[in-house]
Every structure is written in structure tokens, then in C-alpha cells.
């Protein structure tokens, strides 16, 4: 009888919490939209921002520092 190989356990996914503020009208709109689509507001927000976040985790960001000009140097 052949023996089965043990499956490798997946590394647990780490989650981080992000807090955003919305107006009362935006919250009402979000709740109504999610209810009409039979989903939750969290799933709706995640689905909306997924294309913006998928391919940027390993990207190197270059920040350009510009010198601040004082008002005296402008004139």
C-alpha cells in the first residue's frame, strides 16, 4: 500500500488594520450599495482597491527631495 506524503503547511498570512474616516452620508451610501450587492462593506472596499495594491509590494519607491524656497529668496 503506497504511503501518502504529508502536505506542507502554509505560512500564516499576517493582517494589518487600517482605519479610514467617512462621512455619515458616505457610510449610508456604502451600506446601501453593499446590501444591494449582497456583500459586506469590507469585501466591497477590498475589491475596489485590489487593482491598486496587487503589484506594488516589491516596488522600490524613489522620493525626490526638493529644497524649500523661503519667501525672501523668491523676490
> pLDDT grade, residue 22 (50/70/90)?
very high
Q: Which residue has the higher pLDDT, 24 or 1?
A: 24
> Residue 38 falls within a domain, yes or no?
yes
> Residue 71 falls within a domain, yes or no?
no
Task: Output the pLDDT for position 7.
Answer: 83
Domain count, the chain: 1
d(CA 52, CA 56): 8
Averaged pLDDT, 17-40 = 96
Average pLDDT score, the chain: 86
> pLDDT grade, residue 72 (50/70/90)?
low
Quote the domain boundaries for residue 28.
19-54
> pLDDT grade, residue 70 (50/70/90)?
low
> Residue 33 falls within a domain, yes or no?
yes
> Residue 66 falls within a domain, yes or no?
no
Helix (H), strand (E) counts: the chain: 3, 0
* DSSP conformational letter for 39: S
Q: Which residue has the higher pLDDT, 56 or 12?
A: 12
Amino acid at each position: 500500500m503506497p504511503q501518502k506524503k504529508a502536505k506542507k503547511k502554509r505560512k500564516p498570512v499576517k493582517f494589518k488594520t487600517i482605519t479610514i474616516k467617512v462621512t455619515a452620508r458616505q457610510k449610508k451610501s456604502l451600506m446601501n450599495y453593499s446590501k444591494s450587492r449582497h456583500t459586506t462593506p469590507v469585501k466591497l472596499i477590498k475589491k475596489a482597491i485590489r487593482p491598486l495594491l496587487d503589484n506594488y509590494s516589491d516596488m522600490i519607491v524613489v522620493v525626490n527631495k526638493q529644497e524649500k524656497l523661503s519667501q525672501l529668496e523668491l523676490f
